[in-house]
Structure 1
Amino acid sequence: MPAPETYYSRTVATPGSRPALTGKIEADTVIVGGGLAGLTTALELARAGQSVVVLEAESIGFGASGRNGGIVSPSFACGNTAIARRVGIRAARELHRLTIEGVERLRATISDLKIDSADPCPGVLHLRRHDAKADLIAHAEEFACDFNYRLEYLDRDALRGLLVSDRYFHGLRDSRAFHIHPLNTLRGIAAEVERLGGKVFDASPATGAALTGAVKTITTPQGQVQARRVVFAMGGYTGALVPRLQRAVLPIATYMLLTEAAPDLLSAAIRTSDAVLDDRRAADYYRLVEGGTRLLWGGRITTRAASPAELARELRREMLGVFPQLADLKTDLAWSGQMGYARHLMPQIGQMAPDVWHCTAFGGHGLNTTAIGGKVLAEAILGETDRIAMFAPFGLPWAGGPLGLAAAQLTYWKLQAQDWWRERRR
């Protein structure tokens, strides 16, 4: 499957691909999947002196990790209330503390590895599209109390100084969150894994898996890896190799577009370098790139990937609904990618069998949660902590297969209708 052209692939700092695995090799751990979850796990294991092999079916960052909006902000796709209902308030707070740690760890990784091409930029705005602020302010106060994490409240006038739009009523600014070039970040992490002695292979899909016994074997079209343990981190591109994983993950498509370079037109509408997220169930998210000359816009989720022309039409409709003054702004590029979602809307991190681990279903959670997921998994493999136990309540339930996809699409349409009605009543 050829990789779609994206803003990130177009601007990648180090073009080129790694070789495919050929022949037979051995390692302490083989990781299937070259996204942020797999690479973070590999990095932490390699730092601990473990020998690691990463197998990527396409190229590093081919999946959601290399095509997303690049926003690094503490969050889970599943709301705090739903998490607390399942695990209790105290455990929910500890889980959320992990996402904050994920923000700081990813920032530190970019800094420590000197991945300058990640181009980290501070600031994320979380905006509300209807006129209700009490719970928003309460959320900011709770964050300050529980986590010593400050969120700045912005009223409508303050927001209009940043975004010339009638859509937004209230907002919170997170100055500790940031946004990045995710594909350059992934390539920088992969390079560090290799510097530490790990091996990273492109064009090496796992076609066979022998997972019983002391030695596990993963087979590719041209090679084989034998290892003490296996980690599966395939996300929205999980195939039939491990049926239990495939049954537990729904592949959900999300869309993005890149506009032409038009700095004057954009500056009349968007007067901030912060990334922007709105409060809808399937939020719009966007940010200026290339020094404010282009707009990167993402949003919508479906159970299928549309054609580039259809992607552009749907996303432009969303963009112009917020900024009608950008009607003359041309679309340069549009693409989609598949995220992995679990039925419970939480990451799935754990052990399926002795020395067989999984780290998946990060759709909607953000790069910070994916990064900390890989870190927590590596800690468990190394016997350093048992923090992975926090994810035990969120296991691998059947996601419903085709019926699950249909239900997900119907749920999304229902939520869209609720958003429309809520905003109409504003």
Structure 2
Amino acid sequence: MANTQYPESYYAASANAVPPRPVLQDDVETDVCVIGAGYTGLSSALFLLENGFRVTVLEAAKVGFGASGRNGGQIVNSYSRDIDVIERTVGPKQAQLLGEMAFEGGRIIRERVARYNIQCDLKDGGVFAALSAKQMGHLESQKRLWERFGHTQLELMDQRRIREVVGCDQYVGGMLDMSGGHIHPLNLALGEAAAVESLGGTIYEQSPAVRIERGANPVVHTPQGKVRARFIIVAGNAYLGNLVPELAAKSMPCGTQVITTEPLGDELAKALLPQDYCVEDCNYLLDYYRLTADKRLIFGGGVVYGARDPANIEAIIRPKMLKAFPQLKDVKIDYAWTGNFLLTLSRLPQVGRLGDNIYYSQGCSGHGVTYTHLAGKVLAEALRGQAERFDAFADLPHYPFPGGQLLRTPFAALGAWYYGLRDKFGM
């Protein structure tokens, strides 16, 4: 039996201590079987347990092994495609409901951290940094859009103001969202898993779902056991594989790369990010960065379509970091890793139900830290018979990638190349 450990990363090296979790080796019965112990699965489990359901979580590796434990750690509101795009796609009524939910995920994270005393280095404040006048105009429109849906913790920043919060001279301005922020993502997942167990939920690690037996009383099979449930929630995202073929057909795993410096010390760290906000730029293929609790810089960016692991992550990301902060040219990189997220053609999440009792959410398209926490609440509501918000997501249109699985990777890479050129030349 494989024993899959966390990949080498800063997060794994600085993770809070947790007890060992068992491998499923029996036949068990439960109300809800959740497949995947990332944010979507853990959020679903918590909301269900708080409402009296019995919950069993199956994890193929370890809690937070996938994107939930490897991402940039940034709390960013809304979706990968913003509310105005949704409104043009589905009309004002459905967009209103989705818009009202667009800022809920960050509130759920903060509520979880407070209620369950999760130690995950939570800090408030996120910056969207504009590299051109066109991008600044987009931020001005985005502020008006978000304020239309009741989100008011926003400040537009001119060139002078953004240099007060980011020690980088390449930005013409930006927008500060004080309801944004950053966390140690793996420790958030580990804390949520402990909360699940404190409420009587069970999490099995090293217990991959290998087959779902569908029907009135569905059964999830693992290599050494099985779980019989009233409902199943599929929350594997980019690490689901082909367990549910109809979900794999409309999505594509993609890799993003992250590096972490050696500790910078208080003076240099404060010179880079004086208020300890996190930052992402406004390019299509964006860069993102923040400080850790021990004053390292985490810097990420780039996309590898098809989720291949690059041979030299530092060679890809370090030049991006030095373009923003040339003063770090002699700083050592202590960690470099990659992690997969799941891309959809629309870049909107895919939510739905297979038959009467198998629910799923996937395809955050690189915007998952906040959305996954919202998704858990929406899925739990649906299982309780309150499906209005679930239906708002489930009714979003989704399409297979042109050319099917064979051509989806080169198709997406070609699109990214085009948008990368637009970013480069300010088009």
1:243 aligns with 2:216: no
1:56 aligns with 2:69: no
Partners of 1:17 and 1:416 lie apart in 2 by 44
State the one-letter code of the partner of 1:196. Answer: L
Which range moved further: 120-129 or 404-413? 404-413
1:419 aligns with 2:423: yes
**8 Å Cα contact 2:234-2:359 kept in structure 1:** yes
User: What is residue 45 of structure 1 aligned with on the other side?
Assistant: 48
Partners of 2:270 and 2:47 lie apart in 1 by 41
User: What is residue 31 of structure 2 aligned with on the other side?
Assistant: 28
State the one-letter code of the partner of 1:332. Answer: D
**8 Å Cα contact 1:265-1:326 kept in structure 2:** no
1:76 aligns with 2:70: no
CA offsets, 1:25-63, max 9 Å, x none? Answer: 001111111110011111111111111111000101001
For the residue of structure 1 that corresponds to 2:170, the secondary structure is: coil
State the one-letter code of the partner of 1:99. Answer: A
User: What is residue 349 of structure 2 aligned with on the other side?
Assistant: 347
The 1:235–1:67 alpha-carbon spacing in structure 2 relative to 1, beyond 3 Å, is same
Alignment partner for residue 230 of structure 1, among 229, 232, 235? 232
Partners of 1:207 and 1:351 lie apart in 2 by 19
Partners of 2:240 and 2:352 lie apart in 1 by 16
CA deviation after TM superposition for structure 1 residue 15, in Å: 4.1
Partners of 1:13 and 1:74 lie apart in 2 by 26
**8 Å Cα contact 2:127-2:278 kept in structure 1:** yes
**8 Å Cα contact 1:46-1:52 kept in structure 2:** yes
Partners of 1:306 and 1:135 lie apart in 2 by 32
Equivalent residues in 2 for 1:381-396 (5 A)?
381-394=383-396
Q: Which runs of 5+ in 1 are unaligned?
A: none
Partners of 1:193 and 1:79 lie apart in 2 by 31
For the residue of structure 2 that corresponds to 1:248, the secondary structure is: coil
User: What is residue 335 of structure 1 aligned with on the other side?
Assistant: 337
The 1:120–1:341 alpha-carbon spacing in structure 2 relative to 1, beyond 3 Å, is same
Partners of 1:306 and 1:208 lie apart in 2 by 25
**8 Å Cα contact 2:121-2:293 kept in structure 1:** no
For the residue of structure 1 that corresponds to 2:103, the secondary structure is: helix
The 1:402–1:87 alpha-carbon spacing in structure 2 relative to 1, beyond 3 Å, is same
CA offsets, 1:389-419, max 9 Å, x none? Answer: 1112335532331311211111112111111
User: What is residue 319 of structure 1 aligned with on the other side?
Assistant: 321
For the residue of structure 1 that corresponds to 2:125, the secondary structure is: strand
Partners of 2:383 and 2:411 lie apart in 1 by 35
Partners of 1:158 and 1:87 lie apart in 2 by 37
CA offsets, 1:60-92, max 9 Å, x none? Answer: 100101111111121211133331221113422
CA deviation after TM superposition for structure 1 residue 158, in Å: 1.2
Alignment partner for residue 259 of structure 1, among 233, 241, 261? 261
State the one-letter code of the partner of 1:167. Answer: Q
Alignment partner for residue 144 of structure 1, among 144, 147, 151? 147
Partners of 1:191 and 1:262 lie apart in 2 by 32
CA offsets, 1:117-173, max 9 Å, x none? Answer: 212100000110112434422332332343142310111011122223221011110
State the one-letter code of the partner of 2:154. Answer: L
**8 Å Cα contact 2:99-2:149 kept in structure 1:** no
Alignment size in residue pairs: 420
Alignment TM-score, normalising by the size of structure 1 = 0.94
Alignment partner for residue 278 of structure 1, among 276, 281, 291? 281
Alignment partner for residue 87 of structure 1, among 90, 95, 114? 90
**8 Å Cα contact 1:140-1:150 kept in structure 2:** no
**8 Å Cα contact 1:95-1:390 kept in structure 2:** yes
The 1:305–1:239 alpha-carbon spacing in structure 2 relative to 1, beyond 3 Å, is closer
User: What is residue 268 of structure 1 aligned with on the other side?
Assistant: 271
Partners of 1:390 and 1:139 lie apart in 2 by 22
**8 Å Cα contact 1:251-1:341 kept in structure 2:** yes
Alignment partner for residue 104 of structure 2, among 74, 78, 101? 101
User: What is residue 6 of structure 2 aligned with on the other side?
Assistant: 3
State the one-letter code of the partner of 2:77. Answer: P
**8 Å Cα contact 1:86-1:393 kept in structure 2:** no
CA deviation after TM superposition for structure 1 residue 304, in Å: 4.7
**Greater than 6 Å deviation, 4+ residue runs:** none
Which range moved further: 186-195 or 197-206? 186-195
User: What is residue 378 of structure 2 aligned with on the other side?
Assistant: 376
Partners of 1:238 and 1:24 lie apart in 2 by 22
Alignment TM-score, normalising by the size of structure 2 = 0.94
1:201 aligns with 2:192: no
Alignment partner for residue 17 of structure 2, among 14, 17, 28? 14
Percent identical among aligned pairs is 34
For the residue of structure 2 that corresponds to 1:160, the secondary structure is: helix
Partners of 1:69 and 1:121 lie apart in 2 by 14
Partners of 2:362 and 2:148 lie apart in 1 by 31
CA offsets, 1:359-382, max 9 Å, x none? Answer: 111232231111001110110011
**8 Å Cα contact 1:259-1:331 kept in structure 2:** yes
Partners of 1:151 and 1:177 lie apart in 2 by 10
Partners of 2:151 and 2:325 lie apart in 1 by 35
**8 Å Cα contact 1:74-1:96 kept in structure 2:** no
Partners of 1:316 and 1:50 lie apart in 2 by 47
Partners of 2:345 and 2:206 lie apart in 1 by 30
Partners of 2:208 and 2:397 lie apart in 1 by 25
Alignment partner for residue 402 of structure 1, among 392, 402, 406? 406
Q: Which runs of 5+ in 2 are unaligned?
A: none
**8 Å Cα contact 2:100-2:149 kept in structure 1:** no
